[in-house]
Amino acid sequence: MTILLGSFARKITIQLKSPLHRFAYFSAGVVFAILWASASAATKIGLQSAQPFVIAIARFAIASAIMLGIAHLVMRQPLPSGKTHWQQLFIYGLFNVSLYLGLYVLAMEEVSAGLGTLFVATNPVLIMLINTLWYRQPVSLSSILSFVLCIAGMLLAAYPLFETSYATWLGIGILFLSMLAYSVGAIYFARRKWDGLHILTINGWQTLIGGVCLLPCLFLSFEYSANTFDVRWWSAVLWLAIPVSVFAVLIWLYLLRDNPIKASAWLFLCPIAGFAIAAILMKEPLSWHTLGGVLLVIAGLYLVQRMRRPGRKRQ
């Protein structure tokens, strides 16, 4: 039986390298980029009807319920056990959900949807730089150059938006802090042993814990008159919870398992898709500054991707 299963698995692997597999991989990459880039526009739409933390916590509640339901009720995955598991989930949820997405939704009140997507796309550069400094490794010229290119690109894209009230320095600052929180959370996740916990179990619990940690912020800032739970609000929350928080993450995992190096290339498409979606749905202006900023960020991401290729000295 084992031999038969092994033979079947090898045949499946061979078939997956067929043109059909390449088409599926390409389609998955495009869908991921569009879904991931749509989060900023969906957040901006939701903010027209409700306060930031009302949107965020509703999103986290729905997304965590779906992921935990699939993990524990459908897949029969075990619950996290022991103090270490829960401590790691709490810290990861605090950085990856409470701080990152909590600050992000606040920033989206001050900046455009396209600019929000552009900042999110720079996460790989920030992660590599922070990881290098955290572990006191020598900072390469490529790391510095990629960071400078991304910062220059974001500022260039933001420059005309200050004049048209599509961005503020406060929003830029909050957005940058949210990216720092995400980078720290990503490094923490990668450096911890999760003892066989399924990725849905980890994501489900850290999303739930992160949302619970934001409840005090919701109670302190909540104003009933500032929230209208209309179709626009429900559409934004459900889109953020299901296509973005669940499907986009699952597609990203598929891309990573197929080829981690090629998967990172799809991040190049995210800022382009983000500005296109923002221009169509939110009527946000596009300019030569936008194009120049996106190209600079893509150049910074390209340098990071080259540093991560096999055969190069790893940081």
Of 74-78, 135-139, 239-243, 279-283, minimum mean pLDDT range: 135-139
> Sorting pLDDT into bands at 50, 70 and 90, what band is 28?
confident
* Residue 233 pLDDT: 94
Res 305 pLDDT > 90: no
Sketch the domain layout of the chain as residue ranges: 33-307
Q: Give the closest residue to 194 by CA, choosing from 57, 42, 84.
A: 84
* Residue 27 pLDDT: 87
Of 90-104, 145-159, 194-208, minimum mean pLDDT range: 145-159
CA dihedral sign of residues 201, 118, 55, 105: positive
Res 31 pLDDT > 50: yes
Res 315 pLDDT > 80: no
Q: Quote the mean pLDDT of the chain.
A: 83
> Sorting pLDDT into bands at 50, 70 and 90, what band is 2?
very low
In the predicted model, what is the mean pLDDT of residues 69-74?
Answer: 93
The two tokens of residue 259 are: 């080829």
> Sorting pLDDT into bands at 50, 70 and 90, what band is 154?
confident
Contact 131, 308 (CB under 8 A): no
Q: What is the pLDDT of residues 136-145, one digit of tens each?
A: 777 777 778 8
The two tokens of residue 196 are: 């066989």
In the predicted model, what is the mean pLDDT of residues 100-111?
Answer: 92
Please calculate the CA angle 231-232-237 and round it to the nearest 5 degrees. Answer: 100
Whole-angstrom distance, CA of residue 169 vs CA of residue 174: 9
* 265 residue type, one letter: A
* Residue 3 pLDDT: 38
Res 94 pLDDT > 70: yes
* Residue 213 pLDDT: 96
Res 19 pLDDT > 80: no
* Residue 112 pLDDT: 87
Res 227 pLDDT > 60: yes
Contact 51, 188 (CB under 8 A): no
> Sorting pLDDT into bands at 50, 70 and 90, what band is 199?
confident
Q: Give the closest residue to 126 by CA, choosing from 172, 170, 187, 210.
A: 187
* Residue 17 pLDDT: 58
The rounded percent of the chain whose pLDDT value lies above 70 is 87
* Residue 293 pLDDT: 84
DSSP string, the chain: -HHHHHHHHHHHHHHHTSHHHHHHHHHHHHHHHHHHHHHHHHHHHHHTTS-HHHHHHHHHHHHHHHHHIIIIIIS-PPPP-HHHHHHHHHHHHIIIIIIHHHHHHHHTTTS-HHHHHHHHHTHHHHHHHHHHHHTTPPPPHHHHHHHHHHHHHHHHHHHHHHHTTS--HHHHHHHHHHHHHHHHHHHHHHTS--TT--HHHHHHHHHHHHHHHTHHHHHHH--GGG---SHHHHHHHHHIIIIIIIIIHHHHHHHHHH-HHHHHHGGGHHHHHHHHHHHHHS-----HHHHHHHHHHHHHHHHHHHHTSTTSPP-
> Sorting pLDDT into bands at 50, 70 and 90, what band is 253?
confident
> Sorting pLDDT into bands at 50, 70 and 90, what band is 264?
low
The rounded percent of the chain whose pLDDT value lies above 90 is 36
Res 15 pLDDT > 50: no
